[in-house]
Structure 1
Amino acid sequence: MVLSQPGWLPNASGMAMIASKRHAPWPLDWPVQDLQAAGLPVPSVVRFKLITLDHSLAAEDAPQVEPRLPRLLGL
């Protein structure tokens, strides 16, 4: 999941991992509230394993969920 806004990092984006709830929980896991809106087929969590990804490696057709992030996380 993309966390950063355009221009925040030159040529890269800050991201967090999304994992299914089938995996063992981590202390900072945050459940995704609206699975349908997020396009997720199974109960999932945002896992705060943070990374940066160079834009040249990112898929151009990746889903864009950041404008809906607060609602998807139930905030």
Structure 2
Amino acid sequence: MKSSLRAFSVVTVPFPFTDCVKAKHRPALVLSSGATFNNVIGHGVMAMITSAKNSAWPLDVEIKDLKQAGLPSSSIVRMKLFTIDHRLVLSTLGHLSDSDSARVRASIQKLLDEHPEK
């Protein structure tokens, strides 16, 4: 399972608390491609998924198709990015819909855009 992570899969991973002693299992979104990155090095680039809408970040993307994503409640993709070893991925919950994936792609493009439109 861990070697077949594909872009826009929703997975569960351990997130460390700020004290780095304990970790809590949280959903994350796989951003990197299996063929060109994940399967080559055994790590995946991921974004945080959270329900914390009260502390919005720029470029947050609401997940509209929760059922397909395998999420039980309102959630957003947050551009809090990290890499993680596949061996730490606990489970696959689902996969973003095409429309949710497109909105995440647009958010990533804005993140990388040096000259955003005004």
CA distance in 2, matches of 1:16, 1:69: 16
CA distance in 1, matches of 2:68, 2:81: 22
Tell me which of the two structures has the higher relative contact order, counting C-alpha pairs closer than 8 angstroms and 6 or more residues apart.
Answer: 1
Percent of aligned pairs with the same residue? 38
1:26-53, Cα deviation, whole Å (9 max, x unpaired): 1110111111211222211100100000
- The correspondence for 2:76, drawn from 26, 45, 55, is 45
Q: Which runs of 5+ in 2 are unaligned?
A: 1-28, 104-118
* Residue type of the alignment partner of 1:5: S
TM-score (structure 1 length as normaliser): 0.75
- 1:36 maps to 2:53: no
Structure with the largest fraction of helix: 2
- 1:19 maps to 2:58: no
Who wins on radius of gyration, i.e. which is larger? 2
Match of 2:9 in 1: none
Q: Which runs of 5+ in 1 are unaligned?
A: none
